[in-house]
Chains A and B, each alone.
Chain A
Amino acid sequence: MSAVVLFLLVTACSFSSSSNKNQSNIITNRGSDTMVNLALAWAEAYAKEFPQVEISVSGGGSGIGIAALINNTVDIANVSRAMTDTEIQEAKKNGVYPLQFIVARDAIGVIVNPSNPVTNLTLGQVSDIFSGKINNWRDVGGEDRPIVRVSREVNSGTHVFFLQAVIQLGNPTDKTIFAASTLLLPSSEGIIAEVSQNPNAIGYDGLGYITSEVKVLGLALDPAGPFIEPSSTTVRDHSYAIARDLYMYTNGEPTGALKEYLDWIRNPEAQQVVTTLGFIPIT
């Protein structure tokens, strides 16, 4: 009996020491599904250069990463949107002081089926389509077809970003939301699958997930144009309308191995990985 208790104590100790950051060479990294491939690629590249550091990466969604950071069970939280004031307050109550690092940029592409003749939309039209005011492609210069709206699930950081930046056009007092008939698909793959085989569909997704099976629309703020397609150039010069920063959050100023890793991520060599995965580097 006492042996069991002792065993529990030992595991409990080792558990708490592994979550005690900066001492060990194990870095835990969790959060955004948008960023999970990117974080994995960085971790792999870093492990090749510095084999003494172990980095474990997992996804789940931005919310999962933030929850883990607040509970102090993770070293780095990957988040595809800025943390809200309530979340930061909650963290401080737990003795966690979130520090934000911008590690890459991402553009959200609005996508349609390649057979759809529509190539350009204004942001207002996209907003009206997704909120249910426009229901036929005819009204935006396309064929006489019903519009099928495709979106990620409500727990996705991309969903929330799209809601605020496009449907509500960045106006925080705007209470417009997705039309009830919007399809909420559990994965990026589901969105690409539906849009690539359905000529009625319109969807959105992070640039890194968009494949050649779908057509990316050019967007403009006003009907006169210019209509701009997302690319690393148009995102960096801020001419493309829906782009966002991707963040990593740590608890307080990082030290030791953690600091070295975050510094490495923001150097040009690591930012090269960002480009190959379809995101936009910060430098």
Chain B
Amino acid sequence: MTKRRKLLEFVIQGLIRLCGYSAIVFVALIFLFLLQEGLPALSEVPLSSLLGARWYPIQNLFGLLPLLLGSIVVTLGAAVIAIPFGVATAVFIAEVAPRWMREILKPFVEILAGLPSVVLGFLGILVLVPLIRTGFNLPTGLTALTGSILLAAMSLPTIVSVAEDSLDAVPKSYRDGALALGATKWQTIWRVTLPAAKSGVLTAIMLGLGRAIGETMAVMMVTGNAAQMRWDALFYPIRTMTATIAAEMGEVARGTTYYHVLFLIGMILFLISFLVNILASSMLFRAKKRAERMLS
């Protein structure tokens, strides 16, 4: 009987271990595939061309800088809009709103997360694009800012929902203690509840922005896809790396230089999100350690 149990234990442990390792194996395989298809580009196209300012692949102009700039501008713009707005909404739902309002607000925010990005993109074209053009008096409403706003709208539900959960998990005794010491409600939120929920809020931000970096469809529809470099790029059309891959991969012949360069872009995207994840988890790790030190 015990022998059988031990065997069962062994099998289940093995299966769980396999699941754990498989995540690593899949990521490694994807990266290897990207390397295999993308690295040839580095030998086929001179580095000076890859670092050029012009992306026009059908005439062999493979400058990646405008695409990199486009992705960075749109994502940073989305972060600047989504982080304060998302965290504030989470604080409102968790700390300020009365119980009944909270029961309505939370599910509604979560439903927003299910909106397909094409639908948001379409709304963006019909509503946001004309508004941005006339509101900021710009030549066209298809700008990086339009993309940022849509991406922020897309990452908000995730940020709000996850951050609210972690704020909710802060023990009531923390708040009671702060209030008993004479702190106002705002001081309690800012100095006690938010710091206590810090790791959960950071995770919420990373998850939300993770959706923003990889999002393609809505961005392709509203940012104009013009691969240009300028310092005021936020208010002008830009071209992101994801939109470039999505728009051009369909018709490119396998094994050509163009094909390899598109995979190189995929590699760069992968590396960026990898770095962001490492940075975020190391921040979380540090924050946790500090909290543990303070508590002991």
Contact = CB atoms under 8 A, between A and B. Distances in A.
B253 A148 contact: no
Contacts of B224: 183-185
B68 to A, nearest CB: 15
A160 B125 contact: no
B227 interface: yes
Interface stretch (A13-21, A37-45, A172-180, A209-217): A172-180
A145 B247 CA distance: 30
A142 to B, nearest CB: 14
A146 interface: yes
Interface stretch (A46-54, A104-112, A186-194, A220-228): A186-194
A213 to B, nearest CB: 13
Contacts of A178: 56
A60 B247 CA distance: 11
Interface residues of A, number: 30
A166 to B, nearest CB: 15
B228 A154 contact: no
B220 interface: yes
A155 B139 CA distance: 26
B248 A153 contact: yes
Contacts of A73: none
Contacts of A63: 251
Contact of B140 (A60, A154, A175, A183): A183
Given A177-B59, A198-B133, A186 B228 contact: no
Nearest to B254: A67
Nearest to A160: B58
A193 B225 contact: no
Contacts of A185: 224-225
A175 B226 contact: no
A190 B57 CA distance: 22
Contacts of A146: 139
B255 interface: no
Contacts of B66: 180
A181 interface: yes
A180 B228 contact: yes
Contact of A64 (B236, B239, B251): B251
B54 interface: yes
Nearest to B217: A186
A148 B56 contact: no
Interface string B222-238: 00111111000000110
Given A183-B226, A198-B141, A193 B237 contact: no
A218 interface: no
A67 B253 contact: yes
Contacts of B237: 181, 183
Nearest to B61: A177
Interface string B86-128: 0000000000000000000000000000000000000001000
Interface string B143-172: 000000000000000000000000000000
A183 B225 contact: yes
B142 A183 contact: yes
A201 B140 contact: yes
A154 B221 CA distance: 15
Contacts of A198: 133, 140-141
A27 B130 CA distance: 44
Contacts of B227: 180
A200 B251 contact: no
Nearest to A154: B58
A216 to B, nearest CB: 20
B226 A190 contact: no
Contacts of A64: 250-251
Interface string A96-140: 000000000000000000000000000000000000000000000
A61 B226 contact: no
Interface string B204-231: 0000000000000000110011111100
B140 A61 contact: no
A28 interface: no
A148 B140 CA distance: 7
Contact of A155 (B129, B142, B229, B251): B251
A69 to B, nearest CB: 13
A175 B59 contact: yes
A172 B242 CA distance: 32
Given A154-B56, A154-B58, A181-B237, A197 B130 contact: yes
18 contacts: A61-B250, A63-B251, A67-B253, A146-B139, A147-B139, A148-B140, A153-B247, A153-B248, A154-B56, A175-B59, A177-B56, A182-B226, A183-B237, A185-B225, A186-B220, A186-B221, A194-B129, A200-B139
The 5 closest A-B CB pairs, nearest first, are A63-B251, A183-B224, A155-B251, A146-B139, A180-B228
